[in-house]
Structure 1
Amino acid sequence: MPRRSADLPLFLITAFALSWVAALPIWLADAPIGSPLFTVAGLVMMFTPTFGVLVVWLYGRSRGEPGTSAREWARRTGLTLGERRGRTLGLLAAAWFGVPVLVAAAIALSAAFGLLSVDLYGLSLFRQGLPRTGQGQVAPDPTITALIQVVSIFLIVPLINSIATFGEEWGWRGWLLPRLMPMGTWRALLVSGVIWGAWHAPLTLRGYNYPELGAWAAPMFVVFCVAFGALLGWLRLRSGSIWPAVIGHASLNGSGGLIMLVGDAAAPPHLAVAGITGLVGSALIAVLTAALFRFRPVTAPAPAAV
C-alpha cells in the first residue's frame, strides 16, 4: 500500500507551529538569553515534535490505517529497545559517557589549533559567571564547584535532561528519520538535520547558542544540527531504538557548556568557531559519524507510516 502523503506535512506543521507558539512569550517580552522566561519557553518547545508524532498517529488511527496500533507504533518509532537489547544498552552507555568526551575533544582541538584560549588553572571565565558576596568576592569555591559540575555531567545530568530530549528525539529520530529513509540514508540524514536545525529558529534567530552572531545564529546552528543529527541518527538506526539518541542528546545538552568552564575571561571563546557547537566540533562529529557508518553499518527501520 502506498505511503499516505499527509503525514509528513502534518508532522512538520504541528512541530513548527507549536514551537513558535511556545516561543512567542520570548518575542513579546523581548526576553534575553538565559532569562527564566527564555529557559522555560525553550523547555516547552522541546516537546513539540512529540505532539507532531501524536497528531500523525491519531490521524492514521482515525482513518483506520494499518500499523497504527499502540504496540506497532511504539516499535516503529523506536520506543522499544530494538531487536538486540544488548547492543542498544551498549550504545546507550556509549552515548552517555562518549558525548562528554567528544565535547572535551572539540575543546582540546580548538585550543590546539589556536582558536580557543583556555584557563585551566584559574578558570577565569567560569569565575566571572559565579555569584559574588557583598564584598565582591566569589561566594563558592570555583574549583570545587567546577569539579562537581564535571562529575554531574558524567553521572547525573544525562538522565535528568533525557526527559526533555525525549520530547525532541521521538519526533526527529523516532518518526521523521525512518519516514525519510526511502530517499536514501545520507539524504535522509541531511534533510532531517536541516529540518531539526530550522525548527530551532524561534530561539536561534535571537542569537541562542551563538550570541555574537545575532540572527545569523539560526543558519549557523543548522550546520551543527546536520552533523550532530547524523550521529544521533546512526545511534537510532544502529540500535532500532530512540533511547541511545535521547541520551546522546541529553548528554550533549549537559556537557556543551564545558567550554565556558575552561575558557579564558581575557579572550572569551568564539562559539561559532570553537567547541562542540562551533565549526571545529561540527567537523569532528562529521568525521566520527562517517567512520561509524563505514565500519558499523546500519539497517533502516520500517517507517511508522504506510
Structure 2
Amino acid sequence: MNYWLFIVTKRKDETGTILPRAVLEQRAADRFWGLAEKTPNRKLVRKGDKIIFYIALPESAFGGEATLAGVCRKLNSQERRVLSHEKQVFETDLGVDLDDVVIWSRPIPISVLVPRLSFIENKEYWFTYFQGGIRQISEQDYRLITSDVTQTLTEKIATEKDLESESEFALESHLEEFIEDNWVSINWGASLGLYATEEQSGRQFPAGLWSIDFLAIDAVTNDLVVIELKKGKTSDATVGQTLRYVNWVKGNIADPGQGVRAIIIARQIDEALKYAVMNQPDIQVKTYKIRFNLETRLGEQT
C-alpha cells in the first residue's frame, strides 16, 4: 500500500475562478479525481492506496481523505461528458475512482505540521512542496496528518553525520530561491529551461517519496536534467541522492530514448565529491561564489 497527497489548487476558465475547496467538494461528490497525461506518479497509484487531500491557498490545509478504488484509467466519451459538469476546468481524459471519501469538518492547517513532516526538507520554503498534482508520502507522514494534532509528536532530527556544517547550511538556505528567480541569467553551459507539467513546476519536483530541487529540460538535446544543491549535506549523501533521482526520472518521467543527466551545485569540490562523481559521466558538478562586500559610507578617513 502507498500513501499520497492529492493537491487541490484553484482552477480558471473563461467563466472565472473556482476555489480549491469547491473543486474538492465536486470531485468528492463524483467519487473521482481527474489526472493529466504528465501528472507525476499517476502510473504508480494502485487500488487500496490511501490519499489525503491538501487544499491550497487561500486555506493551505489538509482537508480530507479517501481510498483509491483502482488504477489511473482512461474515460470513455460519456464519462468525460458527465464528469466535466459542462465546465472546462473539470474536463479530463484520465483519472482514478475514489472510495471512502471523507471531507474533514475541521481542516488541519499546514503550519501546524510543517516542522514535523519528513517530506518537507526545506521548512522555510515548505510551500514549494504543494504546487499541484500527486505527491507520495511515507506512512509515518500519513499517520501524522490523520492523527489528532494535539497529541505529543516526536520531531525527526537530522543526525550530525548528514550535515557537514550548520553555518554553511544556513548561509545557503536562500540558494534555491535565488536560482529560480535568476534562472535565465545563470550560465548552465546548456539551454536549460525548467521542466513543468500542467500541475507542477520544475522546482521541488516530486519524485516518489522525495523531491528534486530542480528538474530541467535541455532545449537542444531534449535531455531531462536533475539539478541538486549540496546545501550542507555530505558529498556521499549528495551524490547518492542525485543518482537516485536520475534513476527515478528515467523510470517515471523520461520518454523512451530520452536522456537523463544531472548537475550538482556546490560551494566547493572536496576530495570526497571529486571521487564520488568519478566515472559518473552523467553527473556534472558546478560551483558558485557568494560575494559579500563592505563599503565605508560614514567615518571614512581622508
Whether these two folds match at TM > 0.5 is no
TM-score by length of structure 1 reads 0.29
In terms of fraction of residues, the more helix-rich structure is: 1
Say which structure, 1 or 2, has more relative contact order (CA 8 Å, 6+ apart): 1
In terms of fraction of residues, the more strand-rich structure is: 2
Give the greater-gyration-radius structure (CA). Answer: 2
